[in-house]
Amino acid sequence: MGAPSFSPLCSIPSTSGAAARLACAKLLAAGIPLAPLLSRAGLKAEQIDDPVARIEVKAQVQLLDIAAEQLKDDLFGFRMATDFELRKIGLPYYIFSTSNTLADALSDAERYTRLANDGIQLRISLDRAIAIALDCVGVELGSSPHQMEFWLFAVVRICRQLTETRLAPLQLKVRHRRGAPPPEFRTFLGCDVEFASDANEIIFPKSVSSLPISGADCYLHELLVRYAEDTLADQAPAKASVRSRAEKAIAPLLPHGKASVATIARELGMSRRTLARALAAEGLTFSALLDQYRVNLAKAYLTHGDLAISQIAWLLGYREVSAFTHAFKRWTGITPRQSRAGAHSG
């Protein structure tokens, strides 16, 4: 195997930290000391104080859970989403707000949201209805209720603010479970929430896709998009090799055990045979690529002491710790625990 074409640490999903900083503001307003709570989440005060510092998605999820517990607020993510300044989302919000129609804004959202938060996988469908699907990358499905409720309700607010209407979804679905549905959710949405669903998804009527954006400005939009495209280009490899494209497709699918050759080929718009030929031209097979991706990512995760071996196994797509241990030993000649112990002793 050749040298990896990516930085493992860069493949750990991160966010601009807007939700984490909002949570800290809520805690401070309640007179709760931050330092011990940040430490529990694996964060430092400097990361919160620096408005441009990136924060790992897993750490933000943990911080929101801790804040909800400290504030004794089971609807913490929802309440944050309903009263924060939407412009804190940053550049992506300004791109959405200068688009022509809601459909245009959502299409822009699908492309540019990862500038602020590559830990959120956003997919937009404009077929029979408007379907806005979200998932957190790098955390177990359904395990981040406050983070997910924050983003789902924030998206509804954004759609309403952009169109200056009281848009009501036809349906809102979440993967996580709750007891009795909170009445606050229905009051805000105008519809019920389906819990323990197969997706995190907001569905609006198809008819609202043509609603105009109140702040539409084609000249400013073009300028912002050009800036965003330059930023995306800076984040991408100089040459978009098939390997780098495949790695990018693998990243969000890996924790859910869906990074198969058939799925990755489909994501890249290729047949399995075409993908195999393209990788072969770069001196690779898909299995070798997947192994190299996993071993580099495993080594990066093992340097994070707050990640249990079982969590790392899941993040790499293994359902059994033993399978991960055997694979890691095959790759490196030592077990994950030995690798972690060696790194910490050094």
Quote the pLDDT of residue 32.
97
Count Cβ neighbours within 10 Å for each residue of 187-203 and write b for 16 or more, e otherwise: ebbeeebebebeebbbb
Mention every residue, 6+ apart, whose C-beta is less than 8 A from residue 218: 98, 100
- Sheet containing strand 130-136, edge to edge, reads 120-125, 130-136, 201-204, 171-173, 193-194
Quote the pLDDT of residue 13.
67
- The CATH superfamily label for domain 239-345 reads Homeodomain-like (1.10.10.60)
C-alpha distance across the termini of the chain, in Å: 26
Q: Is the pLDDT of residue 234 over 80?
A: no
pLDDT digits (tens, 9 = 90+) for 36-60: 999 999 999 999 998 878 888 889 9
pLDDT digits (tens, 9 = 90+) for 141-193: 667 899 999 999 999 999 999 999 999 999 999 999 998 889 999 999 999 99
Instruction: Count the Cβ atoms, other than its own, within 10 Å of residue 11.
Output: 22
Question: 85: buried, middle or exposed (CB in 10 Å: 19+, 13-18, 0-12)?
Answer: exposed
Domain boundaries, the chain: 10-225, 239-345
Closest CA to 202 of 261, 125, 257: 125
Going by their DSSP bridges, the two strands 130-136 and 55-56 should be labelled as unpaired
Closest CA to 328 of 307, 313, 341: 313
Going by their DSSP bridges, the two strands 171-173 and 193-194 should be labelled as parallel
DSSP reduced 3-state for 331: helix
Quote the pLDDT of residue 3.
37
pTM, two decimal places: 0.68
d(C-alpha 323, C-alpha 313), whole Å: 8
d(C-alpha 83, C-alpha 94), whole Å: 18
Looking up tokens 């896709």 gives: 209
Using an 8 Å Cβ cutoff, are 325 and 285 in contact? Answer: no
Mention every residue, 6+ apart, whose C-beta is less than 8 A from residue 267: 249, 253
pLDDT digits (tens, 9 = 90+) for 291-332: 988 998 888 888 776 678 988 888 888 889 999 999 999 999
Q: Which residues pair with 125 in a beta bridge?
A: 131
Task: Determine the residue type at 127.
Answer: D
Closest CA to 336 of 287, 293, 290, 297: 297
d(C-alpha 66, C-alpha 40), whole Å: 8
**Highest mean pLDDT: which range of 4-18, 136-150, 327-341:** 327-341
For helices 102-116 and 145-163, angle between their N-to-C axes, nearest 10 degrees: 140
Confidence label for 236 from pLDDT (cuts 50, 70 and 90): low
d(C-alpha 12, C-alpha 18), whole Å: 18
